[in-house]
Amino acid sequence: MPRADPFKGSAPQRIFKMTHHKIWDPFVRLFHWSVAAGFIANALLTDDDSKLHEWIGYAVLALVGLRILWGLVGPKRARFSSFFPTKTSVMEQLSDLATRRRKAHLGHTPLGALMIFNLLLSLLAIGLTGWLMTTNTFWGVEWVEDAHEALVTWAEISVVLHIAAVVWESRRTGVNLPQAMITGTKRVPDGVKIVP
Ligand code: HEM
Ligand code: HEM
């Protein structure tokens, strides 16, 4: 006896076509998830008086140092010059958002890039103030401890906004940005305008 068609009477399947673009090299991806894990560990999990806290902090600092080097000499998509925001590009993205124009940026968006520079600089300053607390000159100096703590709070707020923006932009454009930061490839649905 022939088997019943399981799809009979159901709505037709919608098939989305995607174009694939290799964007993030392995170093950028490894950098991203290691820094994210290190930051979360030190901000929320480690005992801040411990050696573990210091080592994770130094590892994050070293990764940021390498990322800055990579931003100068690495492949095109990793280079700061390829996503450095300008007043014009920021205004254009704001206007796209205000008018709900869907555009997929293959690299970082201008607002995304602003957040990235903010995060990199904040991480550098957190590492620097953390290290200062271990030196004879600044050990026990209150403003250094206060600065370390305030910078971490600033970075935490930034990270929450960063993740919210990533989720928002992924839903808006149909490009799964976290997936691209894992696989390296951005998958852009057909019909969405691409900003190279
Ligand atoms: C689970 C949480 C997180 C998710 C899902 C996430 C996701 C992403 C994604 C999708 C991008 C690329 C955005 C684009 O396509 O333009 C990105 C970039 C970036 N994120 Fe995150 N992020 C997370 C946590 C963090 C944390 C905790 C930090 C640092 C404290 C961080 C720092 C950065 C930096 C520095 C970049 C730029 C990457 C580069 O060009 O090297 N992220 N993130
Ligand atoms: C990802 C980087 C880092 C993060 C997210 C982080 C986070 C924190 C947090 C949340 C505190 C507690 C602040 C408070 O409430 O008083 C703290 C304290 C501290 N951190 Fe870090 N930190 C980082 C890197 C470092 C580094 C690189 C060092 C030194 C090598 C360091 C050394 C310290 C010290 C000495 C304290 C104060 C401990 C005390 O006397 O209470 N941190 N850090």
Q: What is the 3-state secondary structure (H, E, C) of 19-31?
A: EEEECCCHHHHHH
Residue 13's SS3 state is coil
The pLDDT assigned to 15 comes to: 57
pLDDT tens digits, residue range 79-121? 999 999 999 999 999 999 999 999 999 999 999 999 999 999 9
CA dihedral 179, 161, 71, 175 (to 10 degrees): 30
The protein residue whose alpha carbon is closest to atom 36 in ligand 2 is: 48
Q: Determine the Cα–Cα distance for residues 185 and 23; give it in Å rounded to an integer.
A: 6
Closest CA relative to residue 120, chosen from 69, 176, 174: 69
Q: How far does the centroid of ligand 2 lie from the alpha carbon of residue 152, in Å?
A: 8
Average pLDDT for residues 30-55, to the nearest whole number?
97
Percent of the chain with pLDDT over 90: 91
- Provide the pLDDT confidence category of residue 7 given band limits of 50, 70 and 90: very low
To the nearest whole number, what is the mean pLDDT of the chain? 93
**36 within ligand 1 shell (Cβ under 6 A):** yes
The pLDDT assigned to 17 comes to: 86
Average pLDDT for residues 41-58, to the nearest whole number?
97
Residue 155's SS3 state is helix
The pLDDT assigned to 4 comes to: 54
Average pLDDT for residues 129-142, to the nearest whole number?
96
Average pLDDT for residues 25-34, to the nearest whole number?
98
pTM value? 0.92
The protein residue whose alpha carbon is closest to atom 9 in ligand 1 is: 178
The pLDDT assigned to 183 comes to: 98
The pLDDT assigned to 147 comes to: 98
**188 within ligand 1 shell (Cβ under 6 A):** no
Average pLDDT for residues 38-62, to the nearest whole number?
97
Ligand 1 binding pocket mutation candidate from 32, 122, 182 (most atoms within 8 A of CB): 32
Q: Determine the Cα–Cα distance for residues 183 and 186; give it in Å rounded to an integer.
A: 8
**131 within ligand 2 shell (Cβ under 6 A):** yes
Average pLDDT for residues 159-169, to the nearest whole number?
98
Spell out the domains of the chain, with CATH numbers in brackets: 22-177 (1.20.950.20)
Percent of the chain with pLDDT over 70: 92
Judging by DSSP bridges, how do beta strands 103-105 and 185-189 pair with one another? unpaired
Q: Determine the Cα–Cα distance for residues 180 and 169; give it in Å rounded to an integer.
A: 13
The pLDDT assigned to 1 comes to: 46
Q: What is the 3-state secondary structure (H, E, C) of 61-80?
A: HHHHHHHHHHHHHCCHHHCH
In this predicted structure, the answer to whether residue 12 has a pLDDT above a threshold of 80 is no
The pLDDT assigned to 136 comes to: 96
Burial 4-38 (b: 16+ CB within 10 A, else e): eeeeeeeeeeeeeeeeebebbbeebbebbeebbeb
